[in-house]
Chains A and B, each alone.
Chain A
Amino acid sequence: NAGVTQTPKFRILKIGQSMTLQCAQDMNHNYMYWYRQDPGMGLKLIYYSVGAGITDKGEVPNGYNVSRSTTEDFPLRLELAAPSQTSVYFCASSLGQASGNEQFFGPGTRLTVL
């Protein structure tokens, strides 16, 4: 099993550009999450999904969108990138809801917006 994979690993965007961060898992997990990590600030939840076709906002959803058309994939869309979105983005998945289940993290995408 590859676990949780993310692409790309690194990306530099110009202000106002858009991009999609890809996330896939091959563990047949229902729950998937997107976090951003800023230096010294821990992990903040952007969006999460409890199954295909179901998504919900986390703590910091503004400027992002997600979709979950399949169990495996959970892409994160950035529209009109801003410097405040410079961060490391982690995708994670779990078998059941986070309360009570280990989260498996992908390797992350390091995004810089200039």
Chain B
Amino acid sequence: GQQVMQIPQYQHVQEGEDFTTYCNSSTTLSNIQWYKQRPGGHPVFLIQLVKSGEVKKQKRLTFQFGEAKKNSSLHITATQTTDVGTYFCAGSSNSGYALNFGKGTSLLVTP
């Protein structure tokens, strides 16, 4: 079945450093979504990418969808302590009613 792999599992950065998490699928995805979960909280939708090679930006966050629609990345420029949390990618195939979530990347930002 479809699997979504995410790396790294953990990342610890100093405030102001950049951060990137990568997501790879064993199969071609129809789209990919990214969620953020603060410690003790619930996942919150960030963005959805649909088109091959698509790049979207939200302030300091840049999301990319690979040309083959099998991989994606989230890059945060100049991290802040408010960026702390776990970032999940979630993908689905054309026939999917549900999403397959990666295991997430936990980001810790120290001042």
Please list the residues of chain A having a beta carbon within 8 angstroms of any beta carbon in chain B. 31, 33, 35, 40-45, 48, 50, 56, 58, 90, 92, 97-100, 102-108
Given the interface contacts A90-B42, A104-B45, A106-B42, does A98 sit within 8 Å of B98 by beta carbon? Answer: yes
Contact A98 B92 (CB under 8 A): yes
Q: How many residues of B contact A (CB 8 A)?
A: 26
Given the interface contacts A40-B103, A42-B103, A42-B104, does A99 sit within 8 Å of B42 by beta carbon? Answer: no
Closest chain-A Cβ to B3's Cβ sits at a distance in Å of: 11
Contact A100 B88 (CB under 8 A): no
Chain A CB within 8 A of B66 CB: no
Complex partner residue of A100 from B48, B101, B103, CB under 8 angstroms: B48
Contact A97 B97 (CB under 8 A): yes
